Chains A and B, each alone.
Chain A
Amino acid sequence: EIVLTQSPATLSLSPGERATLSCRASQSISSFLAWYQQKPGQAPRLVIYDASNRATGIPARFSGSGSETDFTLTISSLEPEDFAVYFCHQRRSWPNSFGRGTKLEIK
């Protein structure tokens, strides 16, 4: 099973700042990576698929990059509604797996 390691576990930033979240795979997954945003009491929401494609309705301030084993989710200028937990998800092989998440909190 492919293990995804997300870092940092918690990221404290202020609105308007740039957020950089990392996801590292234990083996190459090409570009088969998705990112999700989850707010308390809600189901996850797809943000990025295939490492760098924004899902429908996701603002342009969200971008994804990376391939093989190292991936990054960047939020260029944080809005208040962006503070949430973010998970990465590998689709390269079965069984799929998720990272443990990065909590993006207001500083």
Chain B
Amino acid sequence: EVQLLESGGGLVQPGGSLRLSCAASGFTFNIYAMSWVRQTPGKGLEWVSGISGRGSNTYYADSIKGRFTVSRDNSKNTLYLQMNSLRVEDTAVYYCAKERAATAYDGLDTWGQGTKVTVSS
């Protein structure tokens, strides 16, 4: 069974840092691109970041560029999101998600359960 399990969320003060992890299982992790998507309470989805299967290409939303860094350790089947200089507006549930196809960016077909990040003083 294909599964994604996020961890690392929590309460942090503005200006602080957190590192989210996403443990993958049930598929060949290193051939699938992955994304991070966040959702604020009662609101919609915001795409945050993406990374290719080998980790050589990374992509970021303008709202987090320069503050967040996506990476992956294919030997550990784990995706990461390093979040620095956190702002109140970064408060959200963060999901990791897997691309449907190994060779295309056409749809996110598996999502984790999400991890909650709260930025507050």
Q: Enumerate chain A interface residues (CB-CB to B < 8 A).
A: 1, 32, 34, 36, 38, 43-46, 48-50, 55-56, 87, 89, 91, 94-101
Give the chain B neighbours of A94 by CB distance below 8 A.
Answer: 50, 59
Q: Give the residue name and chain of the A residue nearest to B61 (CB).
A: A95
Contact A43-B113, Cβ < 8 Å, known A97-B47, A100-B44: yes
Contact A87-B107, Cβ < 8 Å, known A94-B59, A95-B59, A95-B61: no
Q: Which 7 A-B pairs have the closest CB atoms?
A: A49-B107, A43-B111, A96-B47, A34-B107, A94-B59, A98-B45, A49-B106
Contact A91-B107, Cβ < 8 Å, known A49-B100, A98-B46: yes
Give the chain A neighbours of B47 by CB distance below 8 A.
Answer: 89, 95-98
Q: Give the residue name and chain of the A residue nearest to B101 (CB).
A: A49
Interface size class of B (residues with CB under 8 A): 20 to 34
Our pick among B105, B109, B113 for the contact of A46 (Cβ within 8 Å) is B109
Contact A55-B107, Cβ < 8 Å, known A49-B100, A94-B59: yes
Contact A55-B109, Cβ < 8 Å, known A43-B95, A46-B100, A94-B50: yes
Give the chain B neighbours of A55 by CB distance below 8 A.
Answer: 100, 107, 109
Give the chain A neighbours of B106 by CB distance below 8 A.
Answer: 32, 34, 49-50, 91
- 13 A–B contact pairs at CB < 8 A? A36-B108, A43-B111, A43-B113, A45-B111, A46-B100, A46-B107, A49-B107, A89-B47, A89-B107, A96-B59, A98-B47, A99-B44, A101-B45
